[in-house]
Amino acid sequence: MATTYLRLFSLLILLSVAAADIRSSEVRSDDRPIIPFDEFGFTHRGRLELNVSQIALSNTSPDLDLSNVGFFLCTRESWMQVLQQIEDAEITCALKSDHIKPVYTFQSLNNAQRFDAVYQQSEADQYTLVFANCLQQLKVSMNVRSAMYNLDKSGRRDYLSAGKTILPRVYFLFSLIYFTLAGAWIYLLYKKRLTVYGIHFFMLAVLILKALNLLCEAEDKSYIKRTGSAHGWDVLFYIFSFLKGITLFSLIVLIGTGWSFLKPYLQDKEKKVLMIVIPLQVVANIAQVVIDETGPYGQDWVTWKQIFLLVDVVCCCAVLFPIVWSIKNLREAARTDGKAAVNLLKLTLFRQYYIVVICYIYFTRVVVYALETITSYRYLWTSVVAGELATLAFYVFTGLKFKPEAHNPYFVVDDEEEEAAAEALKLEDEFEL
């Protein structure tokens, strides 16, 4: 088991070495009519630097019209118009459309094997760099290096897309918040040290990993912003992401089972949930690395995205089972062991937790994705902020509800409360019938 993890882990690190926002791709004997490369949000001082080398065409006859082969920039809306034009037979090649911004056609190549081009983009929008090859049966091989950036006020290059350029600051701010929370948590553990359980140290570990993860993400993004490549920080970022993902899901399972604060051991079926969730998290993290590194037009991107979504959904569902089992057990205990009030309190707590976990999962998966899709490229950071705020709320809720208590409210109940609780439970049963 351990060696498998280790091997997967080194794969994770190997994969992430290729990280860069300046993208290099190899095209080999390719006759696809359209090859999209990368997408970027330009401000009105945008630049595209294109270096293409080792160009080889399968057909070198001089009567080929190479103005039908080349690179261009295009927004999503104008791409729709181009497709319409082609459908209406107004044009035969996307490169001939007036809705695109031609960057370089192979007509200017004059049998050279490489070219460098700089394109200045002054119309702010989100563009995709596309290679079009409108000649049938012409196969193209080449190495493409593309760098897209915006110039800031002082003329420095900013390699982060227009809507993402403030992300380093956002991540840094959130990491400060988590470090503060971790400090507060340590203080609380110290003050209530007589009623601290194992789970509370686990929660501390999750908090610190989350803070470190955000710090690395901030540093990673800020390095990309300055240089266009990720250089090492991304490896740290992926390592902490991986640890954070595993510990967070384990924590939800452990709290759901009531481990250490309700009972000192895990049942077999609860251990099984952990044994499913942890390996799946490994897969999810590998998928995430591949998704990030290849970009939306990379080969197999869609496959990995689907793997990631599938695994994520399975993990999210799996962590709910232990909470449901706990709720069921507590309901049964409340009826049989005569301590209705104690059990009802716990039951309420677990029900709340169940709902909050579902809200957290729903918000960070569905709502954030929807925001990402509908917001303009200039405000892409808002979906990140929304996701991080939801996560923060979830962490704070979990901390408040399961913090160590000086006197444990779950175990000290007087007779009056006991009667009231028994009554409430009876009512609830009638209600459900």
Ligand X SMILES: *[C@@H]1O[C@H](CO)[C@@H](O)[C@H](O)[C@H]1NC(C)=O
Residues that bind ligand X (CB under 6 A): 49, 51, 116, 118
CA distance 184 to 182: 5
* Residue (129 or 243) nearer to ligand X, CB: 129
Long-range contacts of 396-400 (CB under 8 A, 24+ apart): 396/181, 397/356, 398/203, 398/251, 398/255, 398/353, 398/356, 399/181, 399/185, 399/203
Rounded to a whole number of angstroms, the minimum distance from the CB of residue 119 to ligand X is 10
* Residue (81 or 229) nearer to ligand X, CB: 229
Torsion of CA 322, 325, 329, 332, to 10 degrees: 160
Secondary-structure percent of the chain, ordered helix, strand, coil, rounded to 5? 60, 15, 20
Residue type present at position 68: N
* Residue (7 or 114) nearer to ligand X, CB: 114
* Residue (131 or 185) nearer to ligand X, CB: 131
Residue 308: CB atoms within 10 Å: 18
H helix or E strand, kind and range, residue 382: helix 381-401
Rounded to a whole number of angstroms, the minimum distance from the CB of residue 43 to ligand X is 20
* Residue (62 or 155) nearer to ligand X, CB: 155
CA distance 327 to 337: 15
Rounded to a whole number of angstroms, the minimum distance from the CB of residue 49 to ligand X is 5
Residue 369: CB atoms within 10 Å: 13
Rounded to a whole number of angstroms, the minimum distance from the CB of residue 161 to ligand X is 20
Rounded to a whole number of angstroms, the minimum distance from the CB of residue 126 to ligand X is 23
Long-range contacts of 203-209 (CB under 8 A, 24+ apart): 203/251, 203/398, 203/399, 203/402, 205/247, 206/244, 206/247, 206/248, 206/251, 206/395, 207/178, 207/181, 207/182, 207/395, 208/178, 208/182, 209/240, 209/243, 209/244, 209/247
Determine the residue with CB nearest ligand X. Answer: 116
Token pair of 279, please? 């390996």
Rounded to a whole number of angstroms, the minimum distance from the CB of residue 53 to ligand X is 8
* Residue (116 or 123) nearer to ligand X, CB: 116
Rounded to a whole number of angstroms, the minimum distance from the CB of residue 145 to ligand X is 6
Backbone angles phi, psi at 45, to 5 degrees: -120, 55
* Residue (112 or 118) nearer to ligand X, CB: 118
Rounded to a whole number of angstroms, the minimum distance from the CB of residue 156 to ligand X is 16
CA distance 336 to 379: 55
* Residue (20 or 421) nearer to ligand X, CB: 20
Rounded to a whole number of angstroms, the minimum distance from the CB of residue 230 to ligand X is 17
Contacting residues for 294 by C-beta, under 8 A, at least 6 apart: 300, 301, 304
* Residue (53 or 303) nearer to ligand X, CB: 53
* Residue (229 or 375) nearer to ligand X, CB: 229
Contacting residues for 167 by C-beta, under 8 A, at least 6 apart: 160, 218, 221, 381, 384
Token pair of 177, please? 């918040």
Rounded to a whole number of angstroms, the minimum distance from the CB of residue 282 to ligand X is 36
* Residue (10 or 120) nearer to ligand X, CB: 120
Rounded to a whole number of angstroms, the minimum distance from the CB of residue 51 to ligand X is 4
- Give the closest residue to 355 by CA, choosing from 397, 383, 386, 384: 397
- Give the closest residue to 149 by CA, choosing from 285, 45, 3, 70: 45
